[in-house]
Amino acid sequence: MIPVTEFRQFSEQQPAFRVLKPWWDVFTEYLSVVMLMIGVFGCTLQVMQDKIICLPKTTQPSQNHSSVPNTSHAIDTSTPLPPPQPSASPATVEMKGRKTDLDLQQYSFINQICYEKALHWYAKYFPYLVLIHTLIFMLCSNFWFKFPGSSSKIEHFISILGKCFDSPWTTRALSEVSGEDSEEKDNRKNNLQKATYPSQSTADNNLVQSQSLKSIPEKFVVDKASAGALDKKEGEQAKALFEKVKKFRMHVEEGDILYSMYVRQTVLKVLKFLIIIGYNSALVPKVQFTVSCDIDIQDMTGYKHFSCNHTMAHLFSKLSFCYLCFVSIYGLTCLYTLYWLFYRSLKEYSFEYVRQETGIDDIPDVKNDFAFLLHMIDQYDPLYSKRFAVFLSEVSENKLKQLNLNNEWTVDKLRQKLQVNAQNRLELPLIMLSGLPDTVFDITELQSLKLEIIQNVMIPATIAQLSNLQELSLHQCSVKIHSAALSFLKENLKILSVKFDDLRELPPWMYSLRNLEELYLYGSLGHDISRNITLESLRELKNLKVLLLKSNISKVPQAVVDVSSHLQKMYIHNNGTKLVMLNNLKKMTNLTELELVHCDLERIPHAIFSLLSLQELDLKENNLKSIEEIMSFQHLRKLTVLKLWHNSITYIPEHIKKLTSLERLTFSYNKIEVLPSHLFLCNKIRHLDLSFNDIRFIPPEIGVLQSLQYFSITSNKVESLPDELYFCKKLKTLKIGKNNLSVLSPKIGNLLFLTSLEVKGNQLEVLPPELGDCRALKRSGFIVEDVLFETLPSDIREQMKAE
């Protein structure tokens, strides 16, 4: 007897795969087992029992008995025939075969010959056909679980599905919206009641509202408390699940191999069913109990015609009818499966019912094999799809990230990162985090918040707790903001700094910050930015006083001109892009500080001379070679700071003497060779930087600058310093390093307020001991070679080293 368990390998799959077996697959699997048992039972009978039993036929002789059809014509004369016996029926003659001692072997031989020659092939092979067809059905039903191209996806999906189903985050996410869902259901029910019984709904309206207001917050509190226990390990596991689901979705949605494989195997089963029904219906009558066998073996047995009994014909006939019944049920089930496959669009799956039931509105619909797998899961248990959908929601993922982030960045840990920035504000810098921790808003003393390289930042309404917040920096961050948070920032935010790589990173809400005073924008805005509607919104910033654009604009945007009436400081750092059409600057009459850095300017823009309120001008890193227009600066009575550094200026015109209000003048990093004596007629200069030029001589008129506190001629070709320099007794910083000086005058001792002195890089051999009179000069502020420093007397060295 062959056990059925031997055939388990044809239909065996992992127990977890049962979730992908809808009811019809389970039903046909049981039908396959029954049909397999029929086949195995038939095969066992075929092997264990006699297949056929044959006996010679009796014949009706003629009246003269002249011929005997079933007797042998060759009578063995050596053996006398027995005398005839009286017959009870004279019309029937009993036929006798050859007398031998091999009766059993003769009949066994006849049975075998008749089984092969006379029995219909269907009667002989029926159980084997049942067995083969059933095995093919089993293989077709489970082929997609075994095929490498589909089994790997199925195993991966089942693994992820089980983890998503059991994840604590799934329970928490669904619990958070359960109260909200209940409220929505109540509202729908109330609306229905209002439509049906308007008078009753009006009477009960106040009661329903009061109950809702009291019950809903309690639900939220209970749900949060019950679902709040999510430790760090569980949070990390849920985070990994989100990544796995994303990658699996991208991989599976690309093709439809699973759907195609399932359709093909179902079609194959239907075709197989039709073939089985077709030929079995025609051949079942061929299974007969009595079979006539005519074989020419008279020389061995003495008989030619036999009547045979197919011992299992009756049983096989019943089994075949049972088998056809089961196959018919199997085929009808497969036809229903085909109807299900083609009637519905199984390559698209909508989570609409999940979105309505859970309240998670951003769960996306899926397609192709991913959709097909979810349709199959729904046939097993729709709860799987509902819990799996949580890990397709971006909102759910963001909530999980926020929870993990809050667990990682506690208030105490954030306080350790607090620092005081250059504007003397208490600042919290956060760099390269996965989001913005909610614990930030518990640091109520925070004045400046700096976010750098953080994606998907959501500023919640709780930012209103930061009552001292005045400054916000967003560097390469994509930011969304709650409406309540925006209302708070409109009233409180004074300084906003945005650094971006893409225009889409510019927060559109920044143009509505009506109390904003300083705006700093870093990033590529394009050459046609003035036509960009977002910048036109700058006109809404009525209190804007400081604007910095570090970009690549070709002209001053009209939006900037629109705020010129109250703009006081403007800085344009143009990264080498040529800035043209500067006539709009004339409208900025209240401008006190202007920086045009790296704008590829070849001349000083004439529009600047109309800025009568201008106090500071910086034209760094341009292409200025001549500054003859400097004479027009005499109209700028308030101009105190002029920076023309990092250009290609070769000389300073004499007209500079008319800029009598200058206090800071910077000509460093140019190509100046000669200093005009008229320069020192600007007797209010306190800061003069002439470093990194080709100057060889310092005019003695420098002694006129009695207010001079900072003087630098570093990296020039000066060979000697005039004694008049030491008349500038207010001098605190003197940088004369990297020149050709060979002697340092003893009169340097007159500079009693000197705190910083640089002489390194000259040809000095000895330092004057008079440096000891510079009591404010310490070793930390004295930049000199160690060998040269040792030439000073020891007491002076000790004096300088003493802090």
Q: What is the pLDDT of residues 606-622, one digit of tens each?
A: 989 889 999 999 999 99
Tokens 């959908």 belong to residue:
389
The string of DSSP codes covering 116-182 is HHTS-HHHHHHHHHHHHHHHHHHHHHHHHHHSHHHHHHHHHHHHHHHHHHH-HHHHHHHHHTHHHHH
Tokens of 401: 């990230």
Q: Could you say which of 305, 323, 348 is where a domain stops? A: 348
The string of DSSP codes covering 474-525 is EES--EEE-HHHHHHHHHH--EEEEE-SSGGGS-GGGGG-TT--EEEEES--
pLDDT band at 746 (very low <50, low <70, confident <90, very high): very high
Beta strands in 697-795 (DSSP E): 710-712, 733-735, 756-758, 782-783
pLDDT score for 537 = 65
Q: Which residue has the higher pLDDT, 228 or 636?
A: 636
Tokens of 691: 């470093």
Q: For 6, which DSSP code?
A: G
Is residue 76 pLDDT above 70, yes or no?
no
Tokens of 359: 């309240």
Look at residue 473 and tell me if it is in a domain: no
pLDDT score for 67 = 43
Percent of the chain with pLDDT over 70: 83
Mean pLDDT over residues 758-784, rounded? 93
Mean pLDDT over residues 168-193, rounded? 57
Q: Which residue has the higher pLDDT, 290 or 73?
A: 290
| Burial group, residue 294, by CB count within 10 angstroms (0-12, 13-18, 19+) | exposed
**Cα–Cα separations (whole angstroms), residue 784 to 566, 718, 751, 764:** 48, 17, 18, 10
| Segment 181-206, tens digit of pLDDT | 444 445 544 543 444 444 444 434 43
Q: Could you say which of 325, 348, 371 is where a domain stops? A: 348
Sign of the CA dihedral 207, 209, 213, 215?
positive
Look at residue 760 and tell me if it is in a domain: yes
Mean pLDDT over residues 234-250, rounded? 81
Tokens of 41: 């039972």
**Cα–Cα separations (whole angstroms), residue 544 to 125, 511, 561, 718:** 96, 11, 12, 46
Name which of 181-190, 246-255, 611-620, 779-788 the model is least confident about. Answer: 181-190
Look at residue 401 and tell me if it is in a domain: no
Q: What is the longest distance spanned by two Cα atoms in the chain? A: 173
**Cα–Cα separations (whole angstroms), residue 51 to 45, 253, 641, 665:** 9, 57, 120, 121
Q: Provide the CB-side half-sphere exposure for 279 (13 A, CA).
A: 11
Mean pLDDT over residues 219-233, rounded? 46
Domain count, the chain: 2
pTM: predicted TM-score of the whole model, two decimal places = 0.66
As beta bridge partners, residue 53 has 309
Q: Are 346 and 256 in contact (CB under 8 A)?
A: no
Is residue 389 pLDDT above 70, yes or no?
yes
Percent of the chain with pLDDT over 90: 34
Tokens of 311: 């011992």
Mean pLDDT over residues 44-65, rounded? 64
Q: What is the CATH number of the domain that holds 728?
A: 3.80.10.10
Which of 222-226, 506-510, 617-621 holds the top average pLDDT?
617-621
| Segment 533-549, tens digit of pLDDT | 345 567 788 889 999 99
Q: Could you say which of 302, 331, 348 is where a domain stops? A: 348
Which of 311-315, 611-615, 685-689 holds the top average pLDDT?
685-689
Look at residue 493 and tell me if it is in a domain: no
- How far apart CA 792 and CA 198 sit, in angstroms, is 104
pLDDT score for 188 = 44
Mean pLDDT over residues 696-705, rounded? 93
**Cα–Cα separations (whole angstroms), residue 558 to 195, 532, 564, 618:** 56, 10, 10, 22
Which of 61-65, 199-203, 569-573 holds the top average pLDDT?
569-573
Look at residue 380 and tell me if it is in a domain: no
Is residue 695 pLDDT above 90, yes or no?
yes
Is residue 84 pLDDT above 70, yes or no?
no
Q: Are 739 and 762 in contact (CB under 8 A)?
A: yes
Q: Are strands 448-452 and 471-475 parallel, antiparallel or unpaired?
A: parallel
pLDDT score for 65 = 44
Q: What is the CATH number of the domain that holds 127?
A: 1.20.1440
| Segment 408-464, tens digit of pLDDT | 888 999 999 999 988 899 999 999 988 889 999 999 999 999 999 888 788 999 999
pLDDT score for 208 = 34
Mean pLDDT over residues 794-802, rounded? 90
**Cα–Cα separations (whole angstroms), residue 160 to 14, 155, 347, 711:** 15, 9, 20, 71
pLDDT score for 93 = 53
Tally: H helices and E strands in the chain? 21, 24
Which of 66-80, 178-192, 394-408 holds the top average pLDDT?
394-408
Is residue 406 pLDDT above 80, yes or no?
yes
Is residue 286 pLDDT above 90, yes or no?
no
Look at residue 281 and tell me if it is in a domain: yes
pLDDT band at 53 (very low <50, low <70, confident <90, very high): confident
pLDDT score for 599 = 92
* Range of the structural domain that residue 704 is part of: 638-802
Q: Are 649 and 666 in contact (CB under 8 A)?
A: no
- How far apart CA 540 and CA 640 sit, in angstroms, is 32
pLDDT band at 49 (very low <50, low <70, confident <90, very high): low
Look at residue 677 and tell me if it is in a domain: yes
Tokens 């506690």 belong to residue:
410
Q: In what order do the strands lie in the sheet with 305-310?
A: 52-56, 305-310, 290-294
Is residue 98 pLDDT above 60, yes or no?
no
Look at residue 398 and tell me if it is in a domain: no
Q: Which helix (H) or strand (E) holds 394?
A: helix 394-408
Q: Residue 23, Cβ neighbours under 10 Å: how many?
A: 10
